[in-house]
Amino acid sequence: MINMIPYGKQFIEQDDIDAVVSVLKGTHLTQGQTVRDFEQAICEYTGAKYCLAVANGTAALHIAVAALDLPVGTEGITSPITFVATANSMLYCGVKPVFVDIDSLSYCLATEKIEKQINSHTKLIMPVHFAGQVCDMKKINKIAEEHSCYVIEDAAHAIGSNYADGSKVGNCKYSDMTIFSFHPVKTITTGEGGAVTTNDKALYEKLCTLRSHGITSDPAKMTQCPRPSFYEMHSLGFNYRMTDIQAALGLSQLKKLEKLKESRRRIIEIYNKELCGINGLILPFERKGLDSCFHLYVIKIDFKRLGKSRREVMEEFKAKGVLTQVHYTPVYTQPYYQKELAYKWGDHPKTEAYYEQCLSIPLYPTMTDEEIQIVINAIKDIIKI
């Protein structure tokens, strides 16, 4: 039996395990000092003023949108090439996701097409830093300011990446909030986990109450005094807390982020060099001057010219021990979105042209030279036009 090479995999060392075990041996398991330490470390790493760690990236997206208190019927703009969670977080809050076609080079939403989708109901723009390469945040922020929209960056793929000005993703220089995910396929992991960063104190306080049932235990905020109560619920929140167990892993992982980024970049350089010039194959585009921590390596294959379907090609890769994945089916074509929001295939041509050809090949820090070579050989064998 051959060992399968997955498209992504977590990176766990003994010190990560030790960090988790030491919390398990202590007295406090759920949200406590270790979560606060993890949040502080994310602030220091990104440069954001405030950070809130939560149960997963979807929860981070949900409370980020909820914290804006947008009226039902508001519209929010996002990219169709993302995980469904991005757009779903708007639906949770009564906001209608409106999609903008992607840029055919970076596969991020096309900045120049955003304004065409803005109307009097539009109050939110949610760019997704696809595969770890940042969107043009300076321009997006300017459009948002001109139309009085909030900006939430979905940086689930992009921890460790830099903006064009060299500063770190998550510093919220160009947005109201940024979210991260620490799912095992992402660059650093806490098992399940996520975070929201912001520089806005009022938003931060709102996020804190939303994370924990809308409850406050701050005596200064109690309204029913002098009735003796230990906490009061002032809004409808959730239980989206992260545990200290997860935060211990997160703290340990964050220390390795630069090392993990370097390992990923090394593999990318090898792929770029070995795979260029193959007929019918398009390699990822990287905008000049960006220092991206790539989460995915997405190739485009001209399946029509190859004369095979993507499914057949994925099976051929699998037979050679290489697992591949599709990132992503355009969100608006999901059956739920077609049924509930009347979106349809054909709505966004560049998105669909990308989707027809995309395939993510293995990229994770512990890939051995032998595994990298197996992937390269498989591509050279399979993609012959």
Binding site for ligand PLP (CB under 6 A): 56-58, 82-83, 85-86, 128, 154, 156-157, 181, 183, 194
252's CB contacts (< 8 A; 6+ apart) are: 15, 16, 19, 20
Whichever of 182 and 317 has its CB closer to ligand PLP, that residue is 182
Q: Least distance from C-beta 15 to ligand PLP, angstroms?
A: 23
**Measured in whole angstroms, how far is the alpha carbon of residue 96 from the centre of its chain?**
20
Whichever of 216 and 324 has its CB closer to ligand PLP, that residue is 324
Whichever of 136 and 382 has its CB closer to ligand PLP, that residue is 136
Q: Least distance from C-beta 103 to ligand PLP, angstroms?
A: 16
Q: Least distance from C-beta 327 to ligand PLP, angstroms?
A: 8
Of 169, 137, 166, 134, whose CA–CA distance to 151 is shortest? 137
User: Cβ-closest residue to ligand PLP?
Assistant: 57
Q: Least distance from C-beta 183 to ligand PLP, angstroms?
A: 4
Whichever of 62 and 261 has its CB closer to ligand PLP, that residue is 62
Phi-psi map region of 180: left, alpha, beta (phi>0 left; psi -120 to 50 alpha): beta
User: Backbone phi, then psi, for 300, in 5-degree steps?
Assistant: -115, 130
Structural tokens at position 252: 């340990």
Q: Least distance from C-beta 295 to ligand PLP, angstroms?
A: 8
Helix (H, G, I), strand (E, B) or coil at 292: coil
Whichever of 127 and 237 has its CB closer to ligand PLP, that residue is 127
Which alpha helices (H) appear in the chain, and where do they start and end?
14-24, 33-46, 57-66, 84-92, 137-146, 201-211, 244-254, 257-275, 303-306, 310-319, 335-341, 349-357, 369-382
What one-letter code names the amino acid at 197? T
Q: Least distance from C-beta 29 to ligand PLP, angstroms?
A: 20
Whichever of 86 and 111 has its CB closer to ligand PLP, that residue is 86
